[in-house]
Structure 1
Amino acid sequence: MPIIIVFDIPGATQAQYEQVTAKMTGGPGLSKRSDWPVPGLISHATGPSPTGWFVTDVWESREAFEKFGEKLAPLMREAGMPEAEPKIYEAFNVVTS
């Protein structure tokens, strides 16, 4: 079942996000689904929030997101991003095109 992941990371910056994504891919960052280090991503959107940085993903399953999280968490710590627990919701409807 698809899930929606919402990260609201107070104090995080675009520069930290870009550092994490560059390290994750060994290059330019994440611009297409095939750039992700694990399969299962359906969509990704990110941008500044009033208090920091905001990320919303849709994943094919909780298991796929958890595999991604194993790669993501150490890179976030390395970039100095504040600890943030994602909110996870079951998706009812996912439209991709």
Structure 2
Amino acid sequence: MENNSIRHEIVSSNPDIDVRFYLSEDSGGYVAPHWHNSLELVYMIEGSMVTQFENNVRQTLHPGEFSIVNPRVIHSVTAQKNKALVLLIP
């Protein structure tokens, strides 16, 4: 991943708590390399996605599995149609 294409993702928390928790329904696609200050946990309900990390490690996520991305870790995502629970903790 080239550093000139990496963006900071600004995460807005839910107003009543300090974390952001939501159901993501993705029709598939690509999320360019980015990073955020939050710990990101994703639990896959349906479908799949591949997370590519800056050190060329790839993680494929299938239903019933979860991933953890540490704060400030550069990553990108290529997704098939999926449904997942996402928890972002500042």
TM-score by length of 2: 0.38
Report the TM-score when normalising by structure 1.
Answer: 0.36
Higher fraction of strand: 2
